[in-house]
Structure 1
């Protein structure tokens, strides 16, 4: 059965909306990833946004990696792209929330505020969709067949 990559991409954005926490890092081999809250703009496909401090190690930008596990631990994504600071006031207004304000006491004009933009250039997506038979096999320690494992795809974009 062929993998429905469109469905996997739809699930990625649904899962990110329901549990928007990801591990984000630069591919510079000098630092680890850190947990951040994804800000989604439905008008911009293949773009993730994060409010960070200007002195955050991610602020220097460059090749980036975002790893995501859904709340239910049934969807996994590894997204690669390019990170830049984009302090467009209109985007800050659009993405601003009380949750963000809790981190930046100076509000939208906080001198430490930076809006990190990651433009996605590729992704690997996994969705665990183990069937009832597959779940029973796991409990009994039996082999899981290919059709009982779920879906996996490597994609060049996440547009739906």
Structure 2
């Protein structure tokens, strides 16, 4: 369940915590004619702690420099893209600039795990590997309690009173 008090008091931290828990997000391309694609966000506790202390929100992704997305980011570093996360009780659409991160061994090691390793047969030195950094400018976020009883109650109340159900909150936040 999304924490609605954190939604009000610390939405940037909540955004990264929610995305960290996601297996994938849909990440846009700098090329407007290309579809979004599923990518695994790389966020750790250090990233979340940095944001809670006022640092900008950043999401990293492992990519492939020979893929459509990798080639697009290399051709247009700093392009504005969107990424969407849809959870059961928390949704977000983030917007920011995307950059290639070249030859940062510490960053590659920071997020390296067996799932990532399965995509890169030559390991951390795989020549196709490309790290991407999404610097979040802003995000539209929606959160609800996920409580099924509240959903039934609010839906019934709305139908009886010709009002809209109160199922959560939404806002736009800065990265």
Give the TM-score normalised by structure 2.
Answer: 0.76
Aligned to 2:171: 153
In the alignment, is residue 85 of structure 1 matched against residue 100 of structure 2? yes
Distance 1:117 1:144 in 2: 43
Distance 2:40 2:121 in 1: 17
User: Number of aligned pairs?
Assistant: 153
Distance 1:31 1:66 in 2: 13
Aligned to 2:20: 17
In the alignment, is residue 29 of structure 1 matched against residue 45 of structure 2? no
Distance 1:135 1:15 in 2: 25
Gaps of 5+ in 2: 52-56, 74-78
Aligned to 1:64: 81
Deviations 1:69-91, CA, capped at 9 Å, x for gaps: 12xx1100000001111031110
Cα drift, residue 130 of structure 1: 6.1
Aligned to 2:46: 43
Of Structure 1 and Structure 2, the greater strand share is in 1
Distance 2:16 2:135 in 1: 14
Deviations 1:87-140, CA, capped at 9 Å, x for gaps: 311100111111100111110001111101100011000002366344234268
SS in structure 1 at match of 2:110: helix
Distance 2:97 2:138 in 1: 10
Gaps of 5+ in 1: none
Of Structure 1 and Structure 2, the greater helix share is in 2
Distance 1:129 1:112, change over 3 A: same
Distance 1:41 1:54, change over 3 A: same
Aligned to 1:138: 155
Structure 1 consecutive aligned stretches of length 4 or more whose deviation exceeds 6 Å: none
